[in-house]
Amino acid sequence: MILAADDIARLVEHMRGLGVAEIEIADGDEMLRVVLPEAMEQSAHTTASAPTIIAATACGLFFPGHPARGTAPSIGARFEAGEVMGVIAVGPLLRPVAAPAAGALTRLLCEPGQRVDFGTPLLAFAPLRSLRTYESERTSDEDRS
Amino acid sequence: MIEMLETPPLNSIQDLGRLGWRCHGIGRSGAMDRVALAAANALLGNEEGAAGIEFQLFPARLRFRADTVFAITGADCAPRLDGHLLPPWWAMAAKEGQELMLSPPRDGLRSYLAVVGGVDVPPVLGSRSTQMRDGFGGHAGRALVAGDRLAALPAQPFTMRDRGGHGALPALQALAAAAHDSASAGEIVLRAIAAAEYGQFDEASRASLWKAPWKVTSQSNRQGYRLAGNVLQRTELVEMRSHGIVPGVIQVPPSGQPIIQLADGNSAGGYPKIGVVIEADLWRIAQAAPGNVLRFVSCTLEEARAAEREIASYLASLRRLAGYCRFPVSEKAA
């Protein structure tokens, strides 16, 4: 076997840390494919290449970035897993809109300060796994224009 | 629980101040931006007056020596927990060994760090604030230095609803500043009430107080802010005996350039007072840096009380809503 059980455990840990959902390692005739269960669950709802849509988990006013930090994050801005990409203001309380994994913001679906309800789509987000697809699409879009 | 790794001078433990000892010459001390400290405590469910750390100089670095939840408010010092940037006015869980780094703010001057339970230093005369001039209170009666270790008071442990933490709408966004006819963007408008000697100043000086810009000079600190602007003059020079003064009092020394007395200000003074900045706007001064322009706008006692109620209501709803973001953990389960 190309990897010992300990190595695979460490690999899974790294995948979780980096937000990688699926990995395939081939060495000669041997091939190892690791798919995290969270990712399988997620892919049941979304197709693998489509960016994740992040929806509101609170009712309030949505601000990409932070209302006191001025400009909203730009399209393509990278976030680490758990990093706050925006906030929902419920009165004076701000609830986080956190990156579900490492990846990049691909679209803002709400205006800054817009009133949102539970489930309102806020942002489109490309996890690192599909980031390469996203970037190649964007490059080819730019080539065409 | 907190180990200071790096700190410039003048960062200290503060609570909401030492009240009731002015008659013995002991001033209030306490956080310069009382709203920011109270908001940090509200986010954590601490008592409003729990002690925290006031940072006025940066960069500062500290390490959490135990798992805790902390909140950082006041001027946005781009807080980084183990390198990860946090939003301003934010509460977040920290693991033992994690490092918090605070950088010089681009806007504002003073940042506040609170931890669950509040910083555990012995209260002196009813307050944990550092009285720097006389060297008591706070941590060993002095500003913090690298190597200082601070403990937190025990508190009911809790888990947070959101792993990413939760925050407060900063006071600057939540509390509307008063309007001023001549203020331009970026200038700080303060509501003030005419003080006892207001009538002794000539007409031009009285008009200047309300109409002219007042620049914060570099001789500004926790004791008071010295301002530069039009020279304020009295029609006749009446000698005055020293009398009790409070934070917010705008004194006019013989130079004619006003001084606003603040948290570490004198408990008594003999300069004539042209006005007093209302309590509800003192936090705005705390965030004014040298070079900033202040404007004074006249307000009534009723308006001053209403402004205090507005702050109290902001803090109360923040406290109530933040309470829904914490789930208590029983000691047994923990």
Whether residue A91 and residue B321 make contact (CB cut-off 8 A), yes or no, is yes
Number of H helices, E strands in chain B: 5, 24
Mean pLDDT in chain B?
Answer: 96
For residue B127, pLDDT over 90 is answered with yes
Looking at the structure, tell me whether residues B286 and B199 fall in a common domain.
Answer: yes
Instruction: Kindly report the three-state secondary structure assignment for every residue of A29-87.
Output: CEEEEEECHHHHHHHCCCCCCCCEEEECCCCEEEEECCCCCCCCCCCCCEECCCCEEEE
User: Would B249 be classed as within a structural domain?
Assistant: yes
Q: Which positions in chain A have a beta carbon within 8 angstroms of at least one beta carbon in chain B?
A: 66-69, 80, 82-84, 87, 89-96, 98
Q: Phi/psi at B27 (nearest 5 deg)?
A: -80, -175
Over residues B148-159, the mean pLDDT reads 95
Could you give the CA distance from residue B39 to residue B166 in angstroms, rounded to a whole number? 12
User: Would B223 be classed as within a structural domain?
Assistant: yes
Q: Mind giving me the DSSP string for B109-123?
A: S-EEEEETT-EE---
Whether this prediction's pTM lies above 0.90 is answered by no
Which of B87, B166, B317 is nearest residue A66 as measured by Cβ atoms? B87
Residue B312 contacts A, CB cutoff 8 Å = no
| pLDDT per residue rounded down to tens, chain A (145 residues) | 567 778 888 888 777 766 666 777 777 777 777 777 665 444 444 444 467 899 999 999 999 999 999 878 999 999 998 899 999 999 999 999 999 999 999 999 999 999 999 999 999 999 986 555 555 656 655 555 4
Q: Which two tokens stand for residue B317?
A: 């709803």
pLDDT in tens, B80-114: 999 999 999 999 999 999 999 999 999 999 999 99
User: Would B155 be classed as within a structural domain?
Assistant: yes
- Put residue B264 in one of left, alpha, beta given phi > 0 → left and psi -120 to 50 → alpha: alpha
Looking at the structure, tell me whether residues B158 and B225 fall in a common domain.
Answer: no
Domain count, chain B: 2
Looking at the structure, tell me whether residues B10 and B139 fall in a common domain.
Answer: yes
Could you give the CA distance from residue B42 to residue B32 in angstroms, rounded to a whole number? 17
Looking at the structure, tell me whether residues B221 and B151 fall in a common domain.
Answer: no
Could you give the CA distance from residue B87 to residue B167 in angstroms, rounded to a whole number? 8
For A52-144, CATH gives: 2.40.50.100
Q: Which residues of B touch A81 (CB under 8 A)?
A: none
For residue B273, pLDDT over 80 is answered with yes
Q: What pLDDT, on the 0 to 100 scale, is given for residue A44?
A: 43
Give the ranges where chain B is alpha helix by DSSP (H).
34-44, 171-174, 203-211, 282-286, 301-323
Degrees, nearest 5: CA angle B228-B230-B235: 125
Q: Among B234, B214, B202, which residue's Cα sits nearest to residue B296?
A: B214
User: Would B247 be classed as within a structural domain?
Assistant: yes
Looking at the structure, tell me whether residues B157 and B70 fall in a common domain.
Answer: yes
pLDDT in tens, B172-231: 999 999 999 999 999 999 999 999 999 999 999 999 999 999 999 999 999 999 999 999
Degrees, nearest 5: CA angle B133-B124-B14: 65
Could you give the CA distance from residue B233 to residue B256 in angstroms, rounded to a whole number? 6
The CATH number linked to B200 is: 2.40.100.10
Contact between residue B143 and residue B150 where contact means Cβ atoms under 8 Å apart: no
Whether residue B87 and residue A98 make contact (CB cut-off 8 A), yes or no, is no
Looking at the structure, tell me whether residues B158 and B195 fall in a common domain.
Answer: no
Residue B165 contacts A, CB cutoff 8 Å = yes
Looking at the structure, tell me whether residues B206 and B101 fall in a common domain.
Answer: no
Between the alpha carbon of residue A106 and those of residues A54, A73, A128, A130, the distances in Å are 11, 10, 12, 11
Looking at the structure, tell me whether residues B151 and B95 fall in a common domain.
Answer: yes
Could you give the CA distance from residue B54 to residue A106 in angstroms, rounded to a whole number? 39
Q: What pLDDT, on the 0 to 100 scale, is given for residue B237?
A: 82
Contact between residue B92 and residue B86 where contact means Cβ atoms under 8 Å apart: yes
Q: What pLDDT, on the 0 to 100 scale, is given for residue A134?
A: 55
Over residues B137-151, the mean pLDDT reads 97
What is the percent of chain B where pLDDT is above 90?
Answer: 94
- Nearest CA-CA distance, residue A5 and chain B, Å: 29
Contact between residue B275 and residue B198 where contact means Cβ atoms under 8 Å apart: yes
Could you give the CA distance from residue A92 to residue A71 in angstroms, rounded to a whole number? 20
Q: Which amino acid is it at B207?
A: A
The yes/no answer to whether this complex scores an ipTM above 0.90 is yes
Distance of CA B118 to the CA centre of its chain: 16
Looking at the structure, tell me whether residues B157 and B122 fall in a common domain.
Answer: yes
Looking at the structure, tell me whether residues B31 and B92 fall in a common domain.
Answer: yes
Contact between residue B152 and residue B115 where contact means Cβ atoms under 8 Å apart: yes
For residue B317, pLDDT over 50 is answered with yes
Could you give the CA distance from residue A99 to residue A87 in angstroms, rounded to a whole number? 11
pLDDT in tens, B29-83: 999 999 999 999 999 999 999 999 999 999 999 999 999 999 999 999 999 999 9
Query: Which of A16, A66, A83 to probe by mutation at the B interface, max B CB count within 10 Å?
Result: A66
Q: Could you check whether the bond before residue B59 is cis, i.e. omega within 30 degrees of 0?
A: yes
Residue B167 contacts A, CB cutoff 8 Å = yes
Looking at the structure, tell me whether residues B34 and B102 fall in a common domain.
Answer: yes
Could you give the CA distance from residue B160 to residue B323 in angstroms, rounded to a whole number? 10
- Put residue A47 in one of left, alpha, beta given phi > 0 → left and psi -120 to 50 → alpha: beta
Structural domain boundaries in chain A: 5-43, 52-144
Q: Which amino acid is it at B323?
A: G
Domain that holds residue B96: 2-167+322-328
Looking at the structure, tell me whether residues B146 and B286 fall in a common domain.
Answer: no
